Amino acid sequence: MFRFLVCRYGAGLYILPILKAFLLRFSLFFLPLILAGLGLEALVRHIPNDFQVKYRELNRLITSTETLILGNSHVVYGINPALLERPAYNAAFVSQSLDVDAAILKTYLPRAPRLRTVILTVDYTAPGYRLHRSAENWRAKNYLLYTPVEVPHKPAHHFEVLSLPLPISAERIWEYYVENKDPDLITRNLGFAVSVVQGETEFNNNGRIAAGRHTNYDELIRQENEASLVKIAELCLQANVKLQLITLPYHEDYMVNREQSQVALQEEMITNLTDQFSNVSYDDTAARDQYSENNFRDSDHLNERGATVFTTRLNALLRGGRR
């Protein structure tokens, strides 16, 4: 036993001074980089962003919110809560997948005593898109850093500077601190978003590209998203909240370029959920023939005018939908 300890710690003590010197030099070498990184991180986090604005408002209004809107960019640009008859909040955001919707609901449901309806879109992207499995996974850092919502993420997403290429962070710092330019925020009142990109929109090519980007059916992701939908429905059921599934209008050019097999899977996901849960209903609220090109920002997003038309029609549906 004694011999074993001598060997064991003898060897350990022998290497320790050399190792200590190495680690010290290594740490000293990296110290300026770590300090620079932390400095950049602090500077980037201080720049106002959509998530800070949106969730500050949501935290303030959640206790009085009766309708919570969830979904992706189609929803955040397409539903203006200020036009709904009951107090509502649009918690949708760009590239937000169904698992993130479920996480938001799980976080805010206990804080929303007056919540009666959750509006959610299960759109064409549902059978193949999940934030943390996509190239957009860097967006997970927004939820981690600026909201109380826990979403699947990589360790790097705990830092702004590690989530995105450094030139992007450097550009944001330069514009905000040196050029004194305010960041382009899309979030407006009650979580509704308006695109900062202005000007003429070219639909023809845009519809093909957008539909192509969204055509990415994946069986594993479909199953995971179905599970997220069930989770959302169960959370709503437990809180006696109605889950209203909706469809947003898209430009014809987007519609015709969709893969029909993926559309069928999307519809199957909706049917499975409405069949399984009594508190879930689905209405095809698109009424595409009632929208003109003036109502679209691009082939798959409504503009402010289009959102006004759509939200006004949504009111009628919700009037009869409260449990």
Partner 1 sequence: MLFNTPEFAVFLLVVFAIYWLALGGRRRAQNGFLLLASYFFYACWDWRFLSLIILSTLVDYTIARALAATVKLTTRRLLLGLSLVVNLGILGAFKYYNFFLDALYSLRPDLQTALGFNSLDVLLPVGISFYTFQTLSYTIDVYRHQLKPSSDLISFAAFVSFFPQLVAGPIERATNLLPQFNGNRHFDRVAATDGLRQILWGLVKKVVIADTCAPFVNEIFAGAPDMNASALLFGIVLFSFQIYGDFSGYSDIAIGTARLFGFNLKRNFAFPYFSRDVAEFWRRWHISLSTWFRDYLYIPIGGSRRGKWTVVRNVFIVFLVSGFWHGANWTFLAWGFMHALFFLPLLLTNSNRNHLGIVAQGKLLPSWREAIAVLITFSLVSLAWVFFRADSIGHAFVYLRGLVSPSLLAIPSVAESKDLAAACLLILGFTLVEWLGRADEYATETFLLRYSTPVRFAAYYLQLCFVFWCAGTEQAFIYFQF
- Scored b (16 or more CB within 10 A) or e, 168-198 reads ebeebbeebeeeeeeeebbbeebbbbbeeee
SS3 130: coil
CB of 30 to partner 1, least distance (A): 9
CA distance 244 to 320: 11
In the complex with partner 1, which residue's Cβ is closer, 16 or 287? 16
3-state helix, strand, coil in the chain (%, to 5): 60, 10, 30
Q: What residues line the site for partner 1 (CB under 8 A)?
A: 7-8, 10-12, 14-16, 18-19, 21-22, 26, 29, 32-33, 154-156, 162, 164-168
Closest CA to 140 of 84, 100, 182: 100
CB of 226 to partner 1, least distance (A): 20
In the complex with partner 1, which residue's Cβ is closer, 47 or 286? 47
CB of 92 to partner 1, least distance (A): 26
In the complex with partner 1, which residue's Cβ is closer, 2 or 29? 29
In the complex with partner 1, which residue's Cβ is closer, 12 or 39? 12
Q: Dihedrals φ, ψ of 51, to 5°?
A: -70, -35
CB of 210 to partner 1, least distance (A): 18
In the complex with partner 1, which residue's Cβ is closer, 130 or 157? 157
Contact 299, 310 (CB under 8 A): no
CB of 146 to partner 1, least distance (A): 20
Closest CA to 143 of 127, 128, 132: 132
CB of 295 to partner 1, least distance (A): 31
In the complex with partner 1, which residue's Cβ is closer, 31 or 82? 31
Closest CA to 246 of 303, 286, 275: 286
